[in-house]
Amino acid sequence: MVAGGKLVHATCVAAAGRGVLISGPSGSGKSDLALRFITSGDIERLCGAPPRLVGDDQIVLENVSGRVIARPPTQLAGKLEVRGLGIVDFAHVAEADVALLVELVSSNEVARMPDNDICTDLLGVSLPLVRLNALEPSAHIKMALALVGAC
């Protein structure tokens, strides 16, 4: 725990103030998926706003009036690990309301026709959950489509 919230090993991106919390084991592609999401022009067209980084590797989560707010730790704000290049600075937002959870899994664990009503509890808030394989070339587009569809 950190002052005012819970520290989790995850990455968070946002578009139009709505955040996507990306979780998965180390090396599963969280940072790479975030990189594709925040640099793709397709995401702005799908979400109606430019995508931004919230934070990479560590995220502070807090339940604020029934909403899960994600923030980067101060020392990591605007920094994204780009494998092969190191730490790269990106435009970022200070916080986002988490609207979607993405769990990174192996390709054989991704349901072909998933139940669209899968939710999970995060800090006492029920949020939609999508399981994706970050290594699929279209994973960032799938994530944006899920974000747009999340209530």
**Active-site hit among 32, 36, 52, 57:** 57
Does residue 57 have an active-site annotation?
Answer: yes
Amino acid 103 reads E
Does residue 89 have an active-site annotation?
Answer: no
**Active-site hit among 30, 36, 52, 140:** 30
Does residue 112 have an active-site annotation?
Answer: yes
Three-class secondary structure of residue 55 per DSSP: strand
Query: How many Å apart are CA 124 and CA 55, to the nearest integer?
Result: 22
**Active-site hit among 45, 112, 115, 117:** 112
- Provide the b/e sequence for 61-87 (b: ≥16 CB within 10 Å): beeeeeebbbbbeeebbbbbbeeeeee
Catalytic residues: 9, 30, 57, 112
